Structure 1
Amino acid sequence: MIPARLPRREFLVAALLAVAVTACGGRGDSRVLVAEGVSREVPKDAPVAEVVKGITEFGHALYAAGARDTVNTVLSPLSIAYAFGMARAGAAGVTSAEMDKAFGFPAAGPHTAFNTLSRQIVTVDGPPPAPDPEGERDASSEPRDPVVGIANGLFTQEGLPVRQEFLRTLASQYGAGVHTVDFAKDATGDINAWADEQTAGRVKKVFDQLAPATKLVIANAVYLKADWLHTFAEGPAEENAAFTRADGSEVRTKLMHLTSDLRYASGTGWQAVELPYAKSDLVMWVLVPERGGSPADLLRPAALARVATGLRTASVDLFLPGWDFATGLDLEPPLRKLGLAGIFDHGDFSGIADGIFLGQAIHRANISVDEWGTEAAAVTGLAFPTSARLDRGAKVRADHPFAFAIMHRTTLTPLFIGHVADPTAKA
């Protein structure tokens, strides 16, 4: 089980009248301002259920607006929500109301809920450990402890007068370290180095480039590495099996095979299997529609709720491909479709600093699934330039497009969602 509360180092806010400046990790020209007096809070009575409901609904809406049926997709609703939660701490007026409506944030803001979720989900204090050679593994290998990291970062232009209350919220609720950089000298290297460290090397680039007028970047990273409780190592894999894509064409792939007592649910036109990860409250839901059905429909909040209430232990004979792919998403077009054009055209982020606007919103995610478990990572970056601008046996064959959702079982928070259109493709 993941502990409900983990020992974490105190994160101190970068005050305008900072008493100390020290070099941070990564590139040498990035610095972290440190000021005393603001430590990470331990919230009470945080609106977790309300915020998780908003994350789930927003995650599916974004997925539906940006995903294509024929292309593999993975995104992290949690990472995107964290990034915009931090931005919400500096939003004002109509902009804060628009964000609350789109993301399902409570009127007081989602900050204590995100603080609580971090304490319930995260298993590592600081960046995840770098990958190490795993050596030979077999069916007798002991599952490793899960690694789940959530990191928040704020990158500001040297000398930018950032609002004190905004900095206090990011420090006390998000544990966000504040890195001072020089965007005129291209700070993408600093941000990319941070993302690389926080995702154990899985996300090496956030922005392709940043406008010279950029003054501030808000970033979130989510990392997961977890072994299955029941590995597929013992089951005889089905080699060179046919996987039928949405257009009716076939590709050949290996279908991993597992026969075990698993939690299973089904309904008209769909089946769901819960694959638990070892030593944690994390699970993957494999959501398989009938042939010709839509994986996207199974990621709707109502469908996920039916899965959550319908799961029962059953003997399951599961055939599942492995997959390994990445998604890069410019969030602006789908967010505009979802009614958030205003945060780009005339967003009021005066609670962060004067004269800034949301110029870019980028999300990158990737996932690898094999017979041993799952490794996944996501980074969301928001760039702010200055100046204005406009009980039974069940057989499940995931040998056609299907959806997946990596969930924190206790809170039903979706860490990652997506679908597999072609397990042999890398994107």
Structure 2
Amino acid sequence: MLTVEGVSREVPKNAPLAEVVRGLTAFGHALYETTANTTANTVISPLSIAYAFGMARAGAAGATASELDKVFGFPAAGPHAAFNALSRQIVTVDGPPPAPDRKAVRDAQSSEPSAPVVGIANGLFTQQGMPVKQEFLRTLASQYGAGVRTVDFGEDAAGVINAWVDEQTAGRIKKLFERLDAATRLVIANAVYLKAEWEQGFTDQPEENATFTRADGSTVRTRLMRQSSDLRYASGSGWQAVELPYAKSDLAMWVLVPQSGASPAELLKPDALRQVAAGLTTTGVDLSLPGWDFGTDLDLKAALKKLGLNAVFDDADFSGIADDLVISQAVHRANITVDEWGTEAAAVTGLAFAVSARVRQDIEVRADHPFAFAIMHRPTSTPLFIGHVGDPTASA
């Protein structure tokens, strides 16, 4: 990947990090509400989508810039420095993440959990010979660590970009674009990867053949992982929340369980997440939780138009990048695997521009009906991934 000559990654100062996190959290829930099917499984990465559109914002002007600011909650000053600061707090690897041994067998007695691997990669791919504004390239290099690679969109540019995606997600996502029109002139891409092990694995005897009741009242049989330990727990009217910390990190998963028959969607609202954060206290918890393994693919264009983002697709002003550009494709793909030992998840977003604690059993939390989840960076309350499990036996 080529970089802009003489431009190094900046160390941000006084970046409006809290404002950017508030914006991407609110956007993530709005997108979730617009796209999620309550009878199926869903996972999206608000973080990945916000990074991609943050880079696009660096070249936007006029009504296009105003729409992006409104939909994503970008602050008037310093959004790019905030994304830079966020990367510095969350990322643990320099370069593509190493591919894990997904067939490795864990030993509950002797295996110490590893530190998490978190990668955030940003890429810019441009048509050979296309003039791109230097200030835009400078911002992407200094704040997003994104170099620029020239490709030929009349040839196999999609293959080049997909190979980058494969590498940046440790093989979890093989493809971003099915195809790219020959009229494409530029692609902005982001990839987020997470591999994290629980601070304490689910080593209690699992409940086999347990009943999971789906949103429509039908049932499936699944295996519930179990652990009884001291965990941070919160509850409110009609809901329970448990924080599952990942080892050697500031990351955790919040398992958000509504009362049986209620929708988990309400628990992913920004106000609900703030209520969870404020209410978490350590207590003994007997947790039963299914594992899950599924992915979500989204064509973002229709959903973003519903959220008020129209100019970027129809009458865009990306004059800070190059003249006469509009976004012709906006694609998001995410997947997640959760088991007794931890979580592996990945997400990519592409914008194509044309022209062990002591055992306790005080509180029972049983996720045997649709529930939500959020993988959080605790110091900044940033949601890396959000979603819900409507059927743990389904792969999508």
TM-score computed with the length of structure 1 as normaliser: 0.90
Tell me what 2:122 maps to. 152
User: What CA deviation, in whole Å up to 9, does each residue of 1:397-424 have, x standing for no partner?
Assistant: 0000000000000000000000000000
Look up the SS of the partner of 2:305 in the other structure. Answer: helix
Give 2:297's match in structure 1, choosing from 320, 325, 328.
328
Of 33-42 and 96-105, deviating more is: 33-42
Further displaced range: 271-280 or 332-341: 332-341
Aligned to 2:196: 226
Quick check: 1:46–1:112 contact (8 Å CA) kept in 2? yes
Q: Distance in 2 between matches of 1:155 and 1:337?
A: 28
Aligned residues of 2:265 and 2:372 also touching (Cα < 8 A): yes
**Cα distance 1:132–1:333, how it changes in 2: closer, same or farther (>3 A)?**
same
Q: SS of the counterpart of 1:65?
A: helix
User: How many residue pairs get matched?
Assistant: 391
- Segments of structure 1 that go 5 or more residues without pairing to the other structure are 1-31
- After TM superposition, give the deviation of residue 40 of structure 1 in Å: 0.2
**Counterpart of 1:23?**
none
CA–CA separation in structure 2 for the residues paired with 1:49 and 1:392: 36
Structure 2 distance, partners of 1:383, 1:393, is: 52
Aligned with 2:181 (options 186, 211, 218): 211
Q: What is the distance in 2 between the residues matched to 1:392 and 1:230?
A: 16
Contact 1:271-1:396 within 8 A present in 2 as well:
yes
Is 1:403 the equivalent of 2:372?
yes
Q: 1:262-301 alignment to 2 at 5 Å?
A: 262-301=231-270
Residue 375 in structure 1 maps to residue 344 in structure 2: yes
- Could you list the per-position Cα deviations for residues 342-365 of structure 1 after superposition, in whole angstroms to 9, with x for gaps in the alignment? 221111111101121111100000
Q: Is the 8 A contact 1:89 1:109 kept in 2?
A: no
Equivalent-residue separation in structure 1 for 2:253 and 2:21 (angstroms) = 17
Cα distance in 1, alignment partners of residues 208 and 361 from structure 2:
27
2:74 is aligned with 1:105: yes
Identity %: 74
Matches within 5 A, 1:12-31: none
Say which SS state the counterpart of residue 30 (structure 2) adopts: helix
Q: Which residue of 1 aligns with 2:285?
A: 316
Residue 143 of structure 1 contacts residue 229 of structure 1 at CA under 8 Å; is this kept in 2? Answer: yes
Aligned-residue offset at 1:130? 1.6
Equivalent residues of 2:16, 2:78 under 8 A apart: no
Secondary structure, aligned partner of 1:184: coil
Distance 1:35 1:268, change over 3 A: closer
Aligned residue among 149, 159, 162 for 1:179:
149
User: What RMSD over aligned residues (CA atoms) do the two structures have, in Å?
Assistant: 1.1
2:241, 2:158 → 1: CA distance?
A: 41
Report deviation, 1:36: 2.6
Q: Is the 8 A contact 1:74 1:327 kept in 2?
A: yes
1:16-47: CA deviation from partner (whole Å, max 9, x where unpaired): xxxxxxxxxxxxxxxx4344311000000000
1:115 match: secondary structure: helix
Give the secondary-structure state (helix, strand or coil) at the position aligned to 2:171. coil
State the Cα distance separating 1:71 from its structure 2 match.
1.1
Task: Read off the aligned partner of 1:267 and give its amino acid letter.
Answer: G
Distance 1:313 1:381 in 2: 40
Of residues 358, 380, 384 in structure 2, which corresponds to 1:415? 384
What residue in structure 2 maps to residue 303 of structure 1? 272
Q: Which residue of 1 aligns with 2:40?
A: 71
Secondary structure (helix, strand or coil) at the match of 2:123 reads strand
Please tell me whether the aligned partners of residues 186 and 212 of structure 1 are also in contact (alpha carbons under 8 angstroms): no
Per-residue deviation at 1:132? 2.6
Q: After the TM superposition, which residues 181-260 of structure 1 pair with which residues of structure 2 at under 5 Å, given as runs?
A: 181-233=151-203, 235-260=204-229
What is the Cα deviation at residue 58 of structure 1? 0.4
How many angstroms apart in 1 are the aligned matches of 2:75 and 2:137? 20
Task: Determine whether 1:128 maps to 2:91.
Answer: no
Deviations 1:118-141 (A, max 9, x none): 000000000000223653312121
* Contact map agreement 2:294 2:335 (CA 8 A) in 1: yes
Q: Give the counterpart letter for 1:241 in structure 2.
A: A
Kindly provide the CA deviation profile for residues 213-241 of structure 1, in whole angstroms up to 9, marking residues without a partner as x: 000000000000000001002x0100000
Structure 1 window deviating more from structure 2 (83-92 vs 131-140): it is 131-140
> 1:257, CA displacement in angstroms?
0.3
Q: Is the 8 A contact 1:314 1:392 kept in 2?
A: no
